[in-house]
Amino acid sequence: MNVSVVLSALATVAWVIALGTIGLAVAQAARGQRMKSAGVIIIGAIILALALTTVSAGLVFIQPTERGVVITALGDGVRPEALEPGLRWVVPFLENVITYPITRQTYTMSIAPEEGAIEGDDSVEARTADGQIVRVDASVIFSIDPSKVVESHIKWSGAYINNLVRPFARGVIRDGVSQFRIDEVISTKRFELTTFMTDQLAASFNEGNLILHEFVLRNIAFSDEYAASVEQKQIAEQLAQQAAFIVQQREQEAEQARQVAQGEADAVVIQAEGHALARVIEAKAEAEALGLIADALRNNPDLITFEYIQKLGPGIQVMLVPADNPYLLPLPSLGGTAQP
C-alpha cells in the first residue's frame, strides 16, 4: 500500500474532525451552551491535519516500473536525477513529482478501426518506387530510457508519443516503402524493408531518449486497382500454366506414339532381317547341297540314273537297255504282247 496515500487519507480525516468540531461548537454556542474541550480538540485536529498533509505531500512512492521526475521551485526547476523505485521524500508544496513508465509500450497504427491507438483508419499511406500506393499497418514497441527520464521530460514534457513515436514512425515507413518496388515490398524485399525501418527508427528514438525494442510490419494493403490487376495476372499465369501442362501432355503422348511406332518399325525390320538371314542360310545350305550332289555325280555318273529309278515308284514298269544306251524304254504290260 502507498504510504503517502494512507497519510493523505488520515490528513483528510483530521480535517473533517477539526471542521466538525468547529461546527458543533458553533451550534452549541448558538443555543447558549458551551462545549467543553472544544478548543483543544479543534486545535489538536488542525495540527494533526496540517502535519499529516505536510508529510503526505512530501512522501512519494515510486513503483518498480516507474521513475519520478521532480519538478521543483528550488533551483533550476527540475532535479537533475530521477527518483528511483521506493518511498522517496520531496520538499512539501515546493516540489512535485511526475512519474514515467519505463516498461515496454506499444503504439499501433492500423487500418482496422478498433486496433490502433487512434480510432478509425490510422494506417500509413505510402508510395512505392514504381508509383504504386500501399497502406501499411505497423506496431512500434518501445520504452523510455530509464537513465534519461529527466532529459526525456525536458525534451518532450510527456508528449513523446505524439511528438516522436507517431510522426517519426510514419515518416520512416513512407521513406522505407519508397525505396522498393511494389513486388519487392510484398515478397522478396519485405524483410529488408523491415530491417531498414527498424534501423532508421532506432536511431531517431535514441536521439529522443527512447529505446526501440521492435518494429512490427503487420500488414501491407494495396489499392483496389492494383489488387484487381494482381488477381488478373494470377489468373493469366494459371491459364498459361494450364496451357503449358496441356502442351507437355500432348508432347508426351506424341513421344509415346512415336516410340510405339518406332518399336513396331524396329520389329518389322528385325523380322525382315530374320527372314533374309534365314533365306541366306537356306540358300547357302542349298548351294552346299548342290555342291555335294555335283561332287557325287562327278565321281559316280550312274548315280543319277539310280536316283531316277528310285523316284519312279514300284507301280511303274520299265525296261532297262544296256548301260551304254541312254534311253529308258517302257516294259510291256502284263496282259499284252511284248514289244521288240
Question: What is the pairing mode between strands 66-72 and 95-101?
Answer: antiparallel
Report how far apart, in Å, the C-alpha atoms of 224 and of each of 68, 137, 138 are. Answer: 49, 17, 20
Q: How far, in Å, CA of 99 to CA of 119, rounded?
A: 27
Q: Return the pLDDT at 334.
A: 44
Q: Return the pLDDT at 12.
A: 85
CB distance 87 to 55 below 8 Å: no
Q: Return the pLDDT at 336.
A: 46
CB distance 151 to 80 below 8 Å: no
Domain regions of the chain by residue span: 3-101, 105-222, 224-299
Low-confidence ranges of the chain (pLDDT < 50): 329, 331-340
CB distance 82 to 63 below 8 Å: no
First to last CA, the chain: 167
Residues sharing a CB contact under 8 Å with residue 71, sequence separation 6 or more, in sequence order:
77, 78, 95, 96, 97, 98
Give pTM, 2 decimals: 0.61
CATH architecture of the domain 105-222 equals 2-Layer Sandwich (3.30)
Q: Return the pLDDT at 165.
A: 95
Name the residue among 134, 224, 229 with its Cα closest to residue 185.
Answer: 134
Q: Return the pLDDT at 338.
A: 44
3-state SS class at 72: strand
- Tens of pLDDT, residue by residue over 262-280, are 888 777 778 877 787 878 7
Residues sharing a CB contact under 8 Å with residue 121, sequence separation 6 or more, in sequence order:
111, 113
Query: Amino acid letter at 205?
Result: F
Count CA within 13 A, CB hemisphere, residue 113.
1
